Structure 1
Amino acid sequence: MSYSQYVNKEIETQSAHRKDNAIPVEFEKRNEFFIDAKSRKYDQQYFSMYQYRYNRLHQRALSNAMKKWGDGTRKVDGQAIVKQEKILDIEGGKLCWVIGTVFVDAKYKLNILNDVEKGTDDVLPLEPVSYLDNNEQPIVMLEDESGRAILHNEEFLQNNLLVTGCIVGVLGIEIQAGIFEIMDVVYPECAPQKPLKDSARSGKIAIVSGLNIGLEGHYDLKLELLKQYLIGELGGDEDKQFNSNISQLIIAGDSVEPLQTIDEEEDLKNYITTNNYGSKNISKYNNESLTQLDQFISELITSMSITVMPGDHDPAEICLPQQPLHKSLFKSNQSVLGSERLSRLTNPTWLDVNGLRMLGTSGQNVNDVKKYVARQSDSDSMKIIRASMKWQNFVPTAPDTLYCYPFDNCDPFVLDSELPHVYFVGNQDKFETDVYKCPDSGAQVRLISVPQFGSTGEVVILDLSTLETEVVMIEI
């Protein structure tokens, strides 16, 4: 039996033969978020990371601001719009614009200084569901090296999402000392996007997140049905013809369900530092869950290539970018580890499929921004995903409220050298998709909110030739 026959053995129809669109082992940006274990250093401050972000995005925001508002060349209600170099230079009552970094203050934001003061800085804090108190509006400020100004205009700020770490230009008037009435905002210019060659792409990719493999029986059944659907054992000839086009499965984080039996008080005790190297070694994962994930991949790997990203619930480090899941978790798949058949990637990660550039995360970046949003709703995910493209920074709240590695004079979360063709975010409440069009370059990005499979039973299918998406629901 040939390899092609072996791969397609589950497809019964003569016309259905599975495509092969494996993600290459090596390509530009493949290791964009990889940190070599031997070279990791945690003794540097975050200042150089903030400075790098500001330097890379400031000029791009400045360019858009000059195009839109100018410097003394345009007027609003007879008053000339003037550029100010620094926030400290803003004069009361005069219409002006300035570039700066957004900083958002909210009641329940984690604060390391408070932890040090209370002597609890060696305990991993429990994350709040929201940083806001009873749907309060957070205090939004703009800062630079000269000072800060509070941005005022509740309606505008509700319609234009700004969170800590964004680099923007704002137009307005200082209505009193330190209070800036914001009237308009500009974002950095979009990074360049590689051209797409349509003829080189065909087939489909399945994206699933939040498998949350646990001890409950219904998870086993849903996983079995998902496996059968992907390899072509479910449905009639039409379904199998469709399934044969799925050449790649991307598992975007939260693959195993952590144990929930430890109460919060005991949880805090377990994380109290006992030595200079970290916290107590207490596993929160059941071996059976990890074995089931390994087995699930093993049963699919002969039919399609699989890419696995770590997530918030997985046995991986807490800091972004999360490094690939350890190879010991894939005991049944040792023979294909490191090949195009089974890729262990970082979170976030870049992917390349025949020239199609994809950027994906397991959802921590979007879920953290949600905590800044008053009156949260299901639609917040796509709003934030779109905003990430406007900001040209898809993890702006790191390191302020999202743990991340202290990069030295670097911020890999800034869209600097390249704009993706597809940007997907896993572990969201529901499936949504949209297209973001850069206002300055016209480049388009397919945006995908990938729902948690464990709670929705949904898997997203991306058509590589059209970049259209559809969702398949697995019901019990």
Structure 2
Amino acid sequence: MAYSQYLNKGVEDNGSKVNRSVNTISQDFTKRNEFFLNPGSRKYGNQYFSMYQYRLKNLKNRVYTNAMAKWGDGTKKIDGQTIIKQDKILDITSNKLCWVIGTVFCDAKYKLNILNDVEKGTDDVLPLEPVTYVDNDESAVVMIEDESGRAILHNQGFLDKNLLVTGCIVAVLGIEIQAGIFEIMDVVYPESAPQKPLPTQMEGKIALVSGLNIGEEGHYDLKLEILKQYLIGELGSFDDKSQGGSIGQLIIAGDSIMPIQNLTAEKDLKDYITTNNYGSKNISRYNGESFRKLDQFINDIIISLPVAVMPGDHDPAEICLPQQAMHKSLFKSNKSLLGGDRLVRLTNPQWLELGGLRMLGTSGQNVDDIKKYVETNKQSTFTSLQIMESNIKWQNFVPTAPDTLYCYPYEDYDPFIFQDELPHVYFVGNQEKYQSETIEVEGNKVRLITIPQFDKTGEIVILDLSTMKTEVVKIEL
């Protein structure tokens, strides 16, 4: 008996047939290649200053608009004190209520520091990423800065409730209580980018999965097989088949391959070891069997529904954001489908359009890096979903790049800000648990979705395009 027949043995569907509505990713969407970097024109010699300047130039006026509407300049009072706008941080006068626009900078105990590496002579070695940037007994020092100087933001109670991390452009209201110390009372974020009208008629469902983390071990294969059977609509009762059969697109949001963790195992992979011109060993951190399993997994699914694949932190891709699409050689069984809409290789991050629905997704590095600014005993206050909501407020979904998150040195550009469009759906992969909610910012509604790691939770997320509602499906052995 075939495996699929065994799984569905005894299930009666009365001859009913599930008709699948396929939802393909638009290839001519204007922002489809927003994060694509032409291999022949990449320049890594640029400084990041122009990227910061572009971010400030684009968001400063939008912050000003909201701040003037809320606080004014000499026209509104708080407790009898008139609120004054200061053009520069250097102009702030002690004991006078004012507001100023600037860029947030966080100084934390365990943040990487290139100057320290240069001093130690280790700047040519890729450093290990810290688990956290802060100490539970020592909060990060949060500052506001502009071209004139910096001021430390004081009021831990306020900062514990209002997340501010390096790279955010905001306006802060308060009083300088001593030289260089600004008692923050309130914060204003940039004006929201516009949003396209949501299509009135959409059908079908999208499956979102991340953290497949396919390795060479065999104990995980059964869970992947059950996931495959569910997606193609061959698992369980008729209702289960109908659910799986109504999925018209699968998006794999990063971390599909599990790197080899054991150093001894790496050394044993003699077939993957070569020697470069300098005589040192190049050791692959991946096993070829993992690639074959991923390729076969996609090959079995793609017969029934289109598949799109994003790279993630664990996958064989660039370390810098935006990560470029995984190499086509990894999809040998499906190479004839590459270049069409049946199998799509995506960047990370990635803008998507499906029937007029605008989506933005990442594989999770942007949210994970922001979590490192939050003390572990306060991470229940700032969950992945709340960080994503902050991304929308900040109008910047990767604010910590390039300070603590590697990114390409764009020249006079920053693709990580919401400049001309806000998505209808914003999803982030490889998170601890599933969460979803719709938030409203200045009349624009955005559906936020956190996608859990499948290898740890056995969960995938289903987005219903007709209702914009989500549900989680859990696969257990």
Taking structure 2 as the reference length, the TM-score comes to 0.93
CA–CA distance in 1 between the matches of 2:253 and 2:28? Answer: 20
C-alpha displacement of 1:465: 1.4
Q: Could you tell me which amino acid in structure 2 is paired with residue 37 of structure 1?
A: P
- Is residue 276–residue 282 contact of structure 2 (8 Å, CA) maintained in 1? no
CA–CA distance in 2 between the matches of 1:391 and 1:78? Answer: 30
Match of 1:390 among 371, 393, 406: 393
Report SS of the residue matched to 2:325.
coil
Task: Indicate the residue corresponding to 1:4 in structure 2.
Answer: none
Match of 2:35 among 16, 24, 33: 33
CA–CA distance in 1 between the matches of 2:147 and 2:355? Answer: 44
Q: Could you tell me which amino acid in structure 1 is paired with residue 174 of structure 2?
A: G
Structure 1 position 334 matched with structure 2 position 370: no
Correspondences of 1:175-194 after superposition (within 5 Å): 175-194=177-196
- Is residue 253–residue 314 contact of structure 1 (8 Å, CA) maintained in 2? yes
Correspondences of 1:286-297 after superposition (within 5 Å): 286-297=287-298
Match of 1:166 among 168, 178, 184: 168
Task: Indicate the residue corresponding to 1:349 in structure 2.
Answer: 350
Q: Could you tell me which amino acid in structure 2 is paired with residue 284 of structure 1?
A: R
Structure 1 position 209 matched with structure 2 position 210: yes
User: For residues 336 and 66 of structure 1, do their structure 2 counterparts lie closer, same or farther at Cα, with a shift above 3 Å needed?
Assistant: same
Correspondences of 1:418-429 after superposition (within 5 Å): 418-429=421-432
RMSD: 1.7
Task: Indicate the residue corresponding to 2:462 in structure 1.
Answer: 461
Report SS of the residue matched to 1:198.
coil
Task: Indicate the residue corresponding to 1:60 in structure 2.
Answer: 62
- Is residue 13–residue 241 contact of structure 1 (8 Å, CA) maintained in 2? no
Correspondences of 1:235-314 after superposition (within 5 Å): 235-262=236-263, 281-314=282-315
CA–CA distance in 2 between the matches of 1:304 and 1:55? Answer: 43
C-alpha displacement of 1:13: 5.0
CA–CA distance in 2 between the matches of 1:339 and 1:25? Answer: 8
User: For residues 310 and 183 of structure 1, do their structure 2 counterparts lie closer, same or farther at Cα, with a shift above 3 Å needed?
Assistant: same
- Is residue 141–residue 148 contact of structure 1 (8 Å, CA) maintained in 2? yes
Match of 1:139 among 138, 141, 144: 141
Q: Could you tell me which amino acid in structure 2 is paired with residue 331 of structure 1?
A: K
Report SS of the residue matched to 2:220.
helix
Task: Indicate the residue corresponding to 1:224 in structure 2.
Answer: 225
Q: Where in structure 1 do 4 or more consecutive aligned residues deviate above 6 Å?
A: 274-277
- Is residue 84–residue 90 contact of structure 1 (8 Å, CA) maintained in 2? yes
CA–CA distance in 1 between the matches of 2:354 and 2:417? Answer: 22
Mean CA deviation greater in 385-394 or 372-381: 372-381
Task: Indicate the residue corresponding to 1:414 in structure 2.
Answer: 417
CA–CA distance in 1 between the matches of 2:359 and 2:367? Answer: 17
Task: Indicate the residue corresponding to 1:271 in structure 2.
Answer: none
Match of 2:403 among 373, 395, 400: 400
C-alpha displacement of 1:405: 0.2
CA–CA distance in 2 between the matches of 1:337 and 1:78? Answer: 66
Mean CA deviation greater in 145-154 or 125-134: 125-134
User: For residues 90 and 275 of structure 1, do their structure 2 counterparts lie closer, same or farther at Cα, with a shift above 3 Å needed?
Assistant: farther
CA–CA distance in 2 between the matches of 1:160 and 1:314? Answer: 33
Structure 1 position 380 matched with structure 2 position 411: no
User: For residues 137 and 275 of structure 1, do their structure 2 counterparts lie closer, same or farther at Cα, with a shift above 3 Å needed?
Assistant: farther
Report SS of the residue matched to 1:372.
coil
Q: Could you tell me which amino acid in structure 2 is paired with residue 291 of structure 1?
A: R
Q: Which runs of 5+ in 1 are unaligned?
A: 1-10, 267-273
CA–CA distance in 1 between the matches of 2:298 and 2:109? Answer: 43
C-alpha displacement of 1:235: 1.2
User: For residues 233 and 185 of structure 1, do their structure 2 counterparts lie closer, same or farther at Cα, with a shift above 3 Å needed?
Assistant: same
CA–CA distance in 1 between the matches of 2:322 and 2:281? Answer: 23
C-alpha displacement of 1:83: 0.2
Task: Indicate the residue corresponding to 2:198 in structure 1.
Answer: 196
Match of 2:435 among 427, 432, 437: 432
- Is residue 431–residue 450 contact of structure 2 (8 Å, CA) maintained in 1? yes
Match of 1:152 among 144, 154, 161: 154
CA deviation profile, 1:81-131 (whole Å, cap 9, x unmatched): 000000000000000000000000001001111111111011010001000
Q: Could you tell me which amino acid in structure 1 is paired with residue 451 of structure 2?
A: V
Task: Indicate the residue corresponding to 2:6 in structure 1.
Answer: none
Report SS of the residue matched to 1:217.
coil
Q: Which runs of 5+ in 2 are unaligned?
A: 1-12, 268-274
C-alpha displacement of 1:216: 2.5
Taking structure 1 as the reference length, the TM-score comes to 0.93
CA deviation profile, 1:433-459 (whole Å, cap 9, x unmatched): 111211xx3100000010000100000
CA–CA distance in 2 between the matches of 1:121 and 1:102? Answer: 26
Task: Indicate the residue corresponding to 2:318 in structure 1.
Answer: 317
Report SS of the residue matched to 1:218.
coil
Q: Could you tell me which amino acid in structure 1 is paired with residue 97 of structure 2?
A: L
User: For residues 276 and 60 of structure 1, do their structure 2 counterparts lie closer, same or farther at Cα, with a shift above 3 Å needed?
Assistant: farther
Q: Could you tell me which amino acid in structure 2 is paired with residue 302 of structure 1?
A: I
Structure 1 position 112 matched with structure 2 position 107: no
Q: Percent identity?
A: 69
CA deviation profile, 1:170-221 (whole Å, cap 9, x unmatched): 000000000000000000011000001222x110000000000012323211
Q: How many residues of Structure 1 are paired with residues of Structure 2 in the alignment?
A: 453
C-alpha displacement of 1:135: 4.5
- Is residue 71–residue 81 contact of structure 1 (8 Å, CA) maintained in 2? yes
CA deviation profile, 1:335-358 (whole Å, cap 9, x unmatched): 101110000010000000000000
